[in-house]
Amino acid sequence: MRGVLAFAVIFFLFLIQNAAGFIFFGQDLPLVLLGVLFYALSRGPVFGLALGGAAGGLLEVFGVGRIGYESAIFGGIGFLAGLAAQKVFRDSLWTQILLPVIALYLVTFFNLGNHAFGLSLVREAFLPRDLLITAILSPFVFQILKRFS
């Protein structure tokens, strides 16, 4: 039952993420990524892999891109975060800030292979604004998800 709730929460975060893209003029909030990280840290690598793969599939179905690419990236991030949960204190503020920023770097880096590679794309991909938004937003999202889970 708790697993079904996690998938429903990821779908809800997906809806909020897409709505926020319209409200904030195309600025993507990584809410789905934060949800995958939270549940992977809470429930381990296998659940993180399954939830990340499902979240990536959700992004693929309603987005534009290669099928399987986002599922593999988000599934891998969920698996790695689940493995990291065994080594780090998941309720630490540093974990809630640094792990999402590192995950955003990894997702962005692997998504570069999905587009035509150029220097301007690399500069746009690693904007400090996106990292700052992720670092500020992640502790709040983690606390909200902790209350609902």
* DSSP symbol at 114: G
The pLDDT score that the predictor gives to residue 51 is 96
Distances (CA, A) of 97 to 7, 55, 80, 100: 23, 21, 16, 6
State the residue range of the domain holding 90: 2-148
* pLDDT band with cut points at 50, 70 and 90 for residue 77: very high
* pLDDT band with cut points at 50, 70 and 90 for residue 63: confident
99 contacts: CB under 8 Å, gap ≥ 6: 37, 41, 81, 84, 88, 138
pLDDT over 90, % of the chain: 46
The number of folded domains in the chain is: 1
Q: Is the pLDDT of residue 53 over 90?
A: yes
Q: Is the pLDDT of residue 117 over 80?
A: no
More confident residue, 16 or 121: 16
Per residue in 82-106, pLDDT tens?
A: 999 888 888 888 888 999 989 988 8
Q: What is the pTM of this model?
A: 0.88
- Helix (H), strand (E) at residue 37: helix 31-43
